[in-house]
Amino acid sequence: MDITYKKEKVVQIKRRKYNADGIRLLLMTIPFLLFVIAFSYVPLFGWVYAFFDYKPGIPLSQTAFVGLEHFREMLHDRDMGRVMINTLALSVLSILFAPLPLVLAIMVSEVRNGFFKRLIQTTTTLPNYISWIIVFSLAFSMFSSEGAINTAIDRLGLSDTPLNVLGNADHVWLVQTLLLIWKTIGWNAIIYLAAIVGIDGEQYDAARIDGAGRLRSIWYITIPNIMPTFIVLLLLAVSNLLSAGFEQYLVFNNIMVADKIEVLDLYVYRLGLVTNDYPYSTAVGMFKSVISIALLFMINSLSKRVRGESII
């Protein structure tokens, strides 16, 4: 009886300690929760402007209520179709190149030299911390008519016509996608590297004993084990089809590529802060948010049916 009582007492003490640790961790999350509420949920009250004919300086109580008028306006907006095509094209291109970080992660994981591995990781991850303004400055110094590339071509006598990389509307989607890959591939590869580190090493030992080489180990062990991570990230990317980005296309925007580079976020920015059409820009922003949320839940339902588990 004494032994049983002591065991129950120990269990109760551990349970109290566990609960106390849980409460302490929960309290530590409160500042971050308040931050998310303040900057992600409180601004949603601004959606009310989409239902009024709001003009700056006039109180909302004195503004005419127009209901869904601004949402109907989107159906007749010629620019809206062009912007949606740009957004979907750039998003689909980035999704098509989504396997590249996975390939990079596998290649890095197979490098045996520690110094060389760290060098590759640092080199490929560093661009993620460079702002898009700096990236534009680097691209301009390289690809402008008087940049390093065209200067080298001219001096070598390879061509008399300078390359117009940043002002070519026919190739702007591909150019911007390649710049995005260069900037983010190292950072995205970290997620797959973490998944590779979590693979049980005994699987590789067993494969080595059975005579499997590196390529067979990668094909039959590494790729199947990190494929769930890839699928989750791919599904999340699909749910963000309308979120092609903003900063990149804002800094690379110029008169020669403006019609092909204006995505939905940039269009909302131009409507709201450039033309001061706050109600219509709010309606377009609401449209994007609602569609993105709907896509997320559709992808989550598809994941639950196909994979047997949801992503949210």
Task: Share the mean pLDDT of the chain.
Answer: 86
Distance CA 96, CA 178 (A): 12
Note the pLDDT tens digit of each residue in 243-286: 888 899 999 998 899 899 999 999 999 998 888 888 999 999 99
Task: Report the candidate in 267, 78, 86, 264 with the shortest Cα–Cα distance to residue 172.
Answer: 86
Distance CA 40, CA 128 (A): 23
End-to-end Cα, the chain, rounded Å: 47
Residue 183 — pLDDT band, cuts 50, 70, 90?
Answer: very high
Q: Identify the band that residue 105 occupies on the pLDDT scale cut at 50, 70 and 90.
A: very high
SS3 244: coil
Per-residue model confidence as pLDDT tens digits over 33-60: 999 999 888 988 889 999 998 888 888 8
Name every residue whose Cβ is closer than 8 Å to that of residue 98 and which is 6 or more positions away in sequence: 230, 233, 234, 237
| pLDDT at residue 13 tops 70 | no
Question: At a CB cut-off of 8 Å and minimum separation 6, what does 56 contact?
Answer: 276, 278
Give the pLDDT mean for 27-32. 88
**Per-residue confidence band for 234, with pLDDT thresholds at 50, 70 and 90:** confident
Contact between 249 and 173 under an 8 Å Cβ cutoff? The reply is no
Looking at residue 3, its pLDDT comes to 58
Q: What is the DSSP string of 97-164?
A: TTHHHHHHHHHHHT---HHHHHHHHHHHHGGGGS-HHHHHHHHHHHHSTTSHHHHHHHHHTS-SSPP-
Question: Which of 38-52, 66-80, 105-119, 171-185 reaches the highest mean pLDDT?
Answer: 171-185
> What's the pLDDT at 299?
81
What's the average model confidence in pLDDT over 62-67?
88
pLDDT at residue 177, as a whole number: 94
User: What average pLDDT score do residues 218-234 get?
Assistant: 88
Indicate the helix (H) or strand (E) that contains 265. helix 264-269
Give residue 187's pLDDT. 92
| % pLDDT > 70, the chain | 92
Query: What token pair was written down for 97?
Result: 């190149």
Superfamily of segment(s) 77-306: MetI-like (1.10.3720.10)
Cross-strand bridge partners of residue 52: 65
Query: If we measure between CA atoms, which residue out of 242, 243, 235, 244 comes closest to residue 296?
Result: 235
Average pLDDT over residues 161-181: 89
Contact 80, 284 (CB under 8 A): yes
pLDDT of residue 85: 93
Arithmetic mean of pLDDT, 119-131:
91
- Separation of alpha carbons 293 and 305, rounded Å: 19
Least confident residue range of 156-160, 184-188, 282-286, 289-293: 156-160
Alpha carbons 23 and 27: distance in angstroms, whole number: 6
90 pLDDT tier (thresholds 50, 70, 90): very high
